[in-house]
Amino acid sequence: MESGKPTALITGASFGIGLELARIFAREKHNLVLVARTGDKLRQLASELEKAHGTRSLVLAVDLTDAGSPAYILDQTTRAGIPVEVLVNNAGFGQYGLFAENDLEECLKQIQLNITTLTHLTRLYLPEMLERKSGSILNVASTAAFQPGPLMAVYFATKAYVLHFSEAIANELAGSGVTVTCLCPGATATEFHKRANATAMRLLGMGTMDARTVAEDGYRALVGGKPVVISGLKNWAIAQSVRFSPRKLVTAIARATQESKRE
Ligand SMILES: NC(=O)c1ccc[n+]([C@@H]2O[C@H](COP(=O)([O-])OP(=O)(O)OC[C@H]3O[C@@H](n4cnc5c(N)ncnc54)[C@H](OP(=O)(O)O)[C@@H]3O)[C@@H](O)[C@H]2O)c1
């Protein structure tokens, strides 16, 4: 890797918000460690960013639901002598449907990826950041973090964990030189809903944001050291309204927006 440029490690950089974050970090003079399962997409992105910005990338095609994947990633960056200045825990997925009927294996994989891998990578890269007294972590949660989500019960709960975990460690790390930012996107046009089998949700009829805008919001908040950013004014207003409403009502409204347009 070229010396002088800081390195950002981005999980889920092959599609959607993570891909746009990779483009932004490259534009902002970072080298990259690109992580996801689809190695071809990552290599294609690495070559695009090398041509556009002279960015050097280490590509790691890894399934982050494997319990050993965080240790493998740390080992690869250590062997390559890459200090990770920015850790972006973006990879995540959801699963649509009634909890009692959803595939158990997929439920557990969601928890593994959205919660366990994010926590594990954070814990593995924090010591080197603390030693250098500098570093930043961007954890991608969701506006799903602010209320229970019938029909995507596990997904919403995983994102509540990401938000609370991120805010708590941001507080613990104050004054250490390491910042933690939690990005909460609302519905965004990416592969996410197709993969979650959730393309018919009413919520999507209310409009989506584009991945680039969401990624720019996350980048700006990270640079500004903000603990939490909700992307988009409408999403921010909805997240605030939830705080003053009865939880039963909030859950019922979430159910209504999650339901399929066909139901
Ligand atoms: N789109 C939305 O409406 C929305 C709203 C709020 C929050 N979010 C959050 O934003 C983040 C990014 O999602 P997105 O919308 O950009 O979705 P996306 O287009 O489906 O991208 C998801 C990324 O995560 C990677 N990924 C998924 N499973 C993986 C695994 N097992 N191992 C390694 N990488 C894996 C995917 O890469 P591979 O398939 O190549 O592995 C891909 O790069 C997620 O945490 C999601 O929960 C999305």
Ligand 1 centroid from CA 51, angstroms: 25
Ligand 1 atom closest to 144 (CA)? 6
pLDDT at 263: 52
Q: Is the pTM of this model over 0.85?
A: yes
Ligand 1 centroid from CA 34, angstroms: 13
Ligand 1 centroid from CA 12, angstroms: 6
What mean pLDDT is reported for the chain?
A: 96
Ligand 1 centroid from CA 6, angstroms: 24
pLDDT at 3: 59
Closest C-alpha residue for ligand 1 atom 23: 12
- For residue 35, the cross-strand partners are 11, 60
Contact 86, 30 (CB under 8 A): yes
Ligand 1 centroid from CA 17, angstroms: 7
Phi, psi of 237 (to 5 degrees): -65, -40
The Cα 260–Cα 154 span in angstroms is 18
Q: Which residues of the chain have pLDDT under 50?
A: none
pLDDT at 262: 57
pLDDT at 261: 73
pLDDT at 202: 87
pLDDT at 81: 97
pLDDT at 194: 94
Per-residue pLDDT reduced to its tens digit, 36-76 = 999 999 999 999 999 999 999 999 999 999 999 999 999 99
Among residues 96, 125, 155, 219, which one is catalytic?
A: 155
Query: Which 3-state string (H, E, C) describes 150-202?
Result: CCCHHHHHHHHHHHHHHHHHHHHCCCCCEEEEEEECCCEECCHHHHCCCCCEH
Is 219 assigned a catalytic role?
no
Closest C-alpha residue for ligand 1 atom 44: 92
Tell me which residues have their CB closer than 6 angstroms to ligand 1: 12-18, 36-38, 63-65, 90-93, 113, 140, 142, 185, 187-188, 190-192, 195
Phi, psi of 95 (to 5 degrees): -140, 120
CB neighbour burial string for 187-204, b if at least 16 within 10 angstroms, e if fewer: bbebebbeebebeebebe
The Cα 235–Cα 230 span in angstroms is 7
pLDDT at 4: 80
Closest C-alpha residue for ligand 1 atom 45: 92
Q: Which of 192, 194, 202 to mutate to test the pocket of ligand 1 (most atoms within 8 A of CB)?
A: 192
